[in-house]
Amino acid sequence: MATGQKLLSFLFLQLVLILMVSNLSNAKGLSLGYYHKTCPNAESIIWKATHRVISRAPTLAAPLLRLHFHDCFVRGCEGSVLLNSTKTNVAERAAIPNLSLRGFNVIDGIKAEVEKECPGVVSCADIVALAARDSVSMIHGPYWEVPLGRRDGRVSILNEVFAELPGPFNNITQLRQMFAVKGLNMKDLAVLSGGHTIGTSHCLGVNNRLYNFTGRGDTDPSMDPNYIVKLRQKCKPGDTTTLVEMDPGSFKTFDESYFTLVAKRRGLFQSDAALLNDPETRAYVFHQASTHGSTFAKDFAKSMVKMGQVGVLTGNQGEIRKHCAFVN
């Protein structure tokens, strides 16, 4: 090979390597340590603020995790779930599935602390992503590095929630499709559903399965009849407000017991039970439920990073909100 050719192929190899490396650290324009220069203490301020909250009230980990999921599925992870309605716009927060969202105050409080140190630098969307990671790891769940650099959106529309956010009555076909449009596959669906290892639900999401499944006063045949009896003691007909644990007995601990429940036909929602209706998600459920070595913690970390990249705004898109409930 001539020297010129050698040099060219060497340069080409370098370029390929650089592209590969930058692709790793720069997935969808996000990167690890994004605030390293502009707000070096951002991640530790958020960690400490989240720790103060979770050590006092561990059950707040669940709503903080769920907030990140709702943010990412509607318009991408760009903080639109945090925006308040205005005189001329009804925001996502006002949608029925949001009735039960909590943790807005926690995020607003963390944001205020971060703003004190570095005004206008750290996005609300990144704070939501970090608070979800921090709180999960604080209740003995997995820890993962969160690629950062999300920018905040300026738009939040009520009706988009119904189109984009999966609901408890969705079947496996609907779930597959709603995850696929976000670039998430069946493994992600099974893994991320494991988020239901913590937290509570209103009876609203399960009552149809207990009392009137097809409109003939019947129950959902895909739920363990003994479990139906138990749930009926908590959720009375027409009750929309009582809370039930989604992973009874271990609803404060981030573990793989959700899959043991689903495998025993004791998943709370139709959407949980639906994981048994696809060969891949079914196999995942049974594998995690079995006694030999769960991979859930590792898988969850990986799928959370993936979910955290859905529809992000980067570069000069969007803005860095001053207050998470309002556009600038």
Ligand X SMILES: *[C@@H]1O[C@H](CO)[C@@H](O)[C@H](O)[C@H]1NC(C)=O
Residues at the interface with ligand HEM (CB under 6 A): 62-63, 65-66, 69, 100, 102, 166-168, 170, 175, 192-193, 195-196, 198-202, 204-205, 269, 271
290 annotated as a binding-site residue = no
* Residue 65 interaction partner, one of ligand HEM, ligand X, none, beta carbon < 5-8 Å per kind: ligand HEM
* Residue 157 interaction partner, one of ligand HEM, ligand X, none, beta carbon < 5-8 Å per kind: none
Q: What is the rounded CA–CA span in Å between residue 244 and residue 232?
A: 11
Q: What is the rounded CA–CA span in Å between residue 149 and residue 310?
A: 13
Are the C-beta atoms of 328 and 319 separated by less than 8 Å?
Answer: yes
| Beta strands, E only, the chain | 200-202, 243-245
Rounded to the nearest angstrom, the gap between the alpha carbon of residue 30 and the centroid of all alpha carbons in its chain is 17
Query: What are 152's strand-pairing partners?
Result: 319
Are the C-beta atoms of 52 and 133 separated by less than 8 Å?
Answer: no
Query: Residue with CB nearest ligand HEM?
Result: 199
Phi-psi region of 318 (alpha: psi -120 to 50; beta: other; left: phi over 0): left
Total residues at the site for ligand X (CB under 6 A)?
A: 15
Least distance between ligand HEM and beta carbon 267 (Å): 11
Find the binder of ligand X among 39, 94, 118, 157 (CB under 6 A): 94
* Residue 205 interaction partner, one of ligand X, ligand HEM, none, beta carbon < 5-8 Å per kind: ligand HEM
* Residue 84 interaction partner, one of ligand X, ligand HEM, none, beta carbon < 5-8 Å per kind: ligand X
Q: Which of residues 208-267 bind ligand X (CB under 6 A)?
A: 212, 215, 217
Are the C-beta atoms of 258 and 191 separated by less than 8 Å?
Answer: no
Q: What are phi and psi for residue 200, nearest 5 degrees? A: -130, 165
Find the binder of ligand X among 81, 114, 175, 325 (CB under 6 A): 325
Least distance between ligand X and beta carbon 278 (Å): 9
Q: Which of residues 95-154 bind ligand X (CB under 6 A)?
A: 95-96, 98-99
Catalytic positions, please? 70
Rounded to the nearest angstrom, the gap between the alpha carbon of residue 91 and the centroid of all alpha carbons in its chain is 19
The yes or no reply on residue 173 touching ligand X (CB under 6 A) is yes
Q: What is the rounded CA–CA span in Å between residue 60 and residue 82?
A: 16
Which of 131-150 are b and which e, b meaning 16 or more Cβ less than 10 Å from the residue's Cβ?
A: bbbbbbbbbebbebebbbbb
The yes or no reply on residue 279 touching ligand X (CB under 6 A) is no
Nearer to ligand X, 27 or 204 (CB): 204
Residues 6+ apart with CB under 8 A from 80: 71, 74, 91, 92, 153, 155, 156
280 annotated as a binding-site residue = no
Query: Residue with CB nearest ligand X?
Result: 215
The yes or no reply on residue 185 touching ligand X (CB under 6 A) is no
Least distance between ligand X and beta carbon 265 (Å): 17
Task: Return the structure tokens found at 216.
Answer: 């003939």
* Residue 215 interaction partner, one of ligand HEM, ligand X, none, beta carbon < 5-8 Å per kind: ligand X
Q: What is the rounded CA–CA span in Å between residue 285 and residue 296?
A: 10
Residues of the shown chain interacting with ligand X in the complex, contacts defined by CB under 6 A: 84, 93-96, 98-99, 171-174, 212, 215, 217, 325
Numbered residues of the known binding site for Ca(2+): 71, 74, 76, 80, 92, 197, 247, 255
Numbered residues of the known binding site: 71, 74, 76, 80, 92, 166, 196-197, 247, 255
